[in-house]
A and B are shown apart, each in its own frame.
Chain A
């Protein structure tokens, strides 16, 4: 089945630094989604990408849909303490009856003040 790889499981950065996270798969996807989950809350959609090569920003966040359709990255610039949380990627594939949304296991981000 389709699997998404996010690594490492945890990242530790200093406040003010930029950080980049990758999500890779052996399968192609039509849509890539990036979510953030704060402790004790549900995942919140950050960015959605619909086209190979697409680069989309949301404030300090930038995400790209890989040209091969098998990967995506999320970049956070000038990190702040509230960026702490778990970042999930999700890939969506649509073929009618075989449509599926697959989630990565997430990367836990810690930001040192």
Chain B
């Protein structure tokens, strides 16, 4: 029972590079979410998706792009990484929008 997985778990990249964080869930949950977690800010919603090809902005979407061609995958792309995007990124999924969410193990991204 894999649940929700994220890859890579750790990533170091340089300013200006494009980087994609992967998220995969095996539960067939309709909804998927991307959060970033920073000291002092807690969890902040970047983007979410209700189904394949349906995405919506969260609280802090600038600098990020998402896609969802398949229900089980929800990649997050930083098109041109900046140091302010250094953070821990969590993917989550749920059956109902904004009810119980189940989180992946996170990706720690460092932008140098």
Contacts and interface: CB of A to CB of B under 8 A. Distances in A.
B74 interface: no
A42 interface: yes
B104 interface: yes
Most buried by A among B90, B92, B100: B100
A31 B96 CA distance: 12
Given A41-B105, A41-B106, A105 B98 contact: no
Contacts of B97: 94, 99
Interface string A91-113: 01110000111011110000000
B99 A103 contact: no
Interface range for B:
10 to 19
Contacts, number: 46
B18 to A, nearest CB: 24
A42 B100 contact: no
Task: Specify the main secondary structure of chain A where it touches its partner.
Answer: strand
Nearest to A48: B100
Contact of A101 (B41, B101, B103): B101
Contact of A43 (B41, B45, B90, B98): B90
Contacts of B106: 40-42
B102 interface: yes
